[in-house]
A and B are shown apart, each in its own frame.
Chain A
Amino acid sequence: MKWNNRTRVFVLTVMLAVLILILYMIGLLIPEEAVGTDFQHAGQPPSWAYPFGTDNLGRDLLLRTLKGLSVSMTVGIAASCISAVIAILVGIAAAAGSKTVDGAINWIIDLMMGIPHTVLIILISFSLGRGLKGLLAGIAATHWTSLARLIRGEVLQLRSQHYIVVSRRLGKSGGWIMMHHLVPHLVPQFMVGLILMFPHAILHEASISFLGYGLPPEQPAIGIILAESMRYLSAGMWWMAVLPGLMLVVIVLLIDRLGENVRTVIDPYSAQE
């Protein structure tokens, strides 16, 4: 059987999604006790028993990293979903509303984009009392801007299309036009934007936790693991930083690739590239 481009990409996408899902599930399924401390085996370099080595408290770094990744992914998914919903609401409001609303929203988007994300997240997270809640709110409140602008552009462009004008002349209601003409165009944009937001959110989660403004220190999150490892780098315990860091990079690249593939599959402009 000869697969065309689209089928090949489609299969690849499903495989990527399954791989990411498996990694995520492994992290969720690791019990709390497995990442507990064990001072008899503290500070061991990578070996067959501990592929990622152990940290200064004797915690298995492979398990801790996987658990941390699933925590980071949960934060990333939740934050980007919230962010994407904000984006679509704001985007549609800007495009469908009056000139004033549009201007105001564009101004807010420019303002939000003008402030470095990290600083803004730290501010929001700090004012909401740190922890998971503050971090989620911080990431969700900062990542919607570019997608919102995209949605706005999309809606503006669609509204001037002939078939929509014709539909309206034929007496179709706003809701009907929305469901039959706008939504099919917006869903792919939304999905791709959502997936491409994950890696951003995860990287931001990791960096904010690394700086100490995010998750509490006993939570196995990648940022926490990396922050802890910094204290032991000069003592020569390189594996505490390198391997978890590498896993973070791998997972971010995987999700990024997944987003690209989803776009290729569902975006008619690039499907046959």
Chain B
Amino acid sequence: MMYKENGLGNRSMQYRKGLADRAFAAEWVRRSSVWALIAGTVAVMLAGCASEKQSASGLQQSQKQDSVVVAITSEPATLDPVQGWGHGNTPLIQSTLIKYDSDMAFENDLAVSYHLDESGLVWTFRLRDDAKFTDGEAVTADDVAFTFETAKAAQASVDLTFLENIEVKNDTTVVFTLSRPTSVFLNTVASVGIIPQHAYGSDYGTNPVGSGPWKFVQWNPQEQMILEANEDYYGAVPSIKNVTIVFMTEDAAFAAVQAGQVDAALTAATLAGTEIDGYRVASVSSVDNRGFTLPMLPAEGRVTKSGYPIGNDVTCNLEIRQAIAYAIDRGLVADTVLNGFATPCYSENDGMPWNNSEVVIDTDVDYARKLLADAGWADTDGDGIVERDGVEASFTVLYPSGDSVRQAVAFAASEQVAKIGIQITVEGTSWDDLSKRMFSEGVMMGWGAANPYESYCLYQSAGAFKDDFYNPEGYQSEETDQYLSAAMEALTTEEAYRNWKLVQWDGETGTAMKGACPWVWIVNIDHLYYIRDGLDIGVQQLHPHGASMPLLQNLCEWKWEEDI
């Protein structure tokens, strides 16, 4: 519809031009709709062709035996551990003082030993003396101190507020002094890759030097990252020599797998049902959970610091939250919505060593109905929704639009709780809008981390009603705060874990669904990958939230099987 008008022209000319405009407009509509039709058909035919082509090209081995191409969806923002790289995962390029084994217990990495003094405040780490950065310089205690000082000063994603002082005793001994006992200190240490003091500058995040099993080669933003095995690594040198990490959407990765261009690719539950010759689907369990946060206070006109309304008159009732928790058949949600690629979820940390097995509840619709009836909720007007004192058991749950998994889980759950007379309206919206309404409406959220500190963030009273998504429901409990402090200040890991478990259930109450029930947990999402036959991706740890980087956690264990 682009044409020009010549100002005030001949009048009858203009009239005819008007008619022509109109005819032109009609023609445009006709043409564009025909184009839309053609485009739609072509898209479908292409999709069809792609799936037919898979058998031909899927078999061809495009890669050499010592290299691997991995497709993931989310690209790291930086490769600087101080700015958050590797936080929650292994930093690949750098190495950490200690790391997790596949059972989520700590094992030594750069450290050869570490101990805590009796005050619970002073940690002494002894380092190995044979570790070198990939530029040939040795890793010393100075680099360790430099790393933690920089990380503390940066105040980025690593929380080191409890770290008071770092002292270098000699080249291989470093002493950390804390301001208060902090049991999650080891988890924090395990997430901070050591950076070289001599080679750290403003461009470190895009061109890092580290002492990890992988050497950085190249990074083309939004395209790919290339790593090669560090032959001088002090640990076992990876069997794969070259790794190309490509960043693409699940759809693009699916097409790349069909074309045989990648060896491993992140995929989605909707796509993973398709079998592709030459590939298998690897399903990795995770603590990548999905569940509802439900506002725990009534709507009394309070607002948060940022001015957003607090409270919901339906979900503030414990029996409503618990009835929802008991009414949902988590196994059914996992099977129908996620094609079986999920497991029932009962807490933020299912399967972790600090999880309390008491959090598990059985689906019991009759019990859910009884909870409602005992509290006086009944369907008196026959509309299928229970009410009490004129308040209908009806509320909204938000999810970020575009997230098909959250959408589907939310719809499935609302379908199931409709049976007990609770109406959940599922509404997709932007993160921006969601962050304003999450204090007064339910939200389909997700967490999951390899660090119990997450539970502290989720449930501490002081964290309620902040804009950080941890505690929008407003869970506040003095008892829980005491357990949380005890867990944080515990001197041994065992004592810390014991207190983390008490947070969830102490025999009477807790954050579990049979306790105060601030959350209704629904499923842990399995992370799914297409893996080329013959590629061994080792034993994957329980994955945290986010499916891209956790896959690469044990990249140095990957290998090609010999007989292929």
Contacts and interface: CB of A to CB of B under 8 A. Distances in A.
Interface of A: 36-40, 42, 56-57, 102, 106, 109-110, 113, 117, 146, 149-150, 152-154, 156-157, 160, 189, 192-193, 196, 199-200, 203, 212, 216-218, 228, 231-236, 238, 241-242, 245-246, 248-249, 252-253, 256, 259-260, 263, 269
Given A106-B8, A199-B33, 16 more contacts: A37-B414, A39-B411, A42-B337, A57-B412, A146-B21, A193-B22, A216-B401, A216-B429, A231-B404, A233-B251, A235-B273, A242-B41, A242-B44, A245-B37, A256-B33, A260-B26
B337 A39 contact: yes
Contacts of A39: 332, 336-337, 411-412, 415
Given A36-B415, A56-B404, A196 B26 contact: yes
B50 A109 contact: no
5 contacts: A37-B415, A113-B2, A146-B25, A154-B18, A252-B33
Contact of A157 (B12, B29, B251): B12
Nearest to A244: B40
Contacts of A217: 401-402, 407, 428
B418 to A, nearest CB: 9
A14 B33 CA distance: 23
Interface residues of B, number: 55
A256 B33 CA distance: 11
A200 B36 contact: no
Contact of B5 (A57, A106, A246, A253): A106
Interface in B1-27: 1-2, 4-5, 7-8, 11-12, 14-15, 17-19, 21-22, 25-26
A40 B15 CA distance: 60
Contacts of B259: none
A223 to B, nearest CB: 12
B402 A252 contact: no
Contact of A192 (B14, B22, B427): B22
Contacts of A152: 14
B43 interface: yes
Interface of B: 1-2, 4-5, 7-8, 11-12, 14-15, 17-19, 21-22, 25-26, 29-30, 32-34, 36-37, 40-41, 43-44, 47-48, 50-51, 251, 254-255, 270-271, 273-274, 332, 336-337, 401-402, 404, 407-408, 411-412, 414-415, 426-429
B402 A156 contact: no
- From A36, A154, A218, A256, name the one whose CB has the most chain B CB atoms within 10 angstroms: A218
A157 B12 CA distance: 6
Nearest to A250: B33
Given A156-B11, A248-B36, A241 B43 contact: yes
Nearest to A246: B37
B271 A234 contact: yes
Contacts of A246: 37, 40
Interface of A is mostly: helix
B17 to A, nearest CB: 7
B7 A233 contact: no
A249 B31 CA distance: 11
Contacts of B4: 110
A242 B40 contact: yes
Contacts of B1: 113, 117, 146
B44 to A, nearest CB: 5
B407 A40 contact: no
A249 B33 CA distance: 6
Contacts of A231: 251, 270, 404
A113 B408 CA distance: 41
Contacts of A212: 401-402
A90 to B, nearest CB: 14
B11 A153 contact: yes
Nearest to B9: A153
B459 to A, nearest CB: 31
A110 B273 CA distance: 52
A42 to B, nearest CB: 7
Contacts of B40: 241-242, 245-246
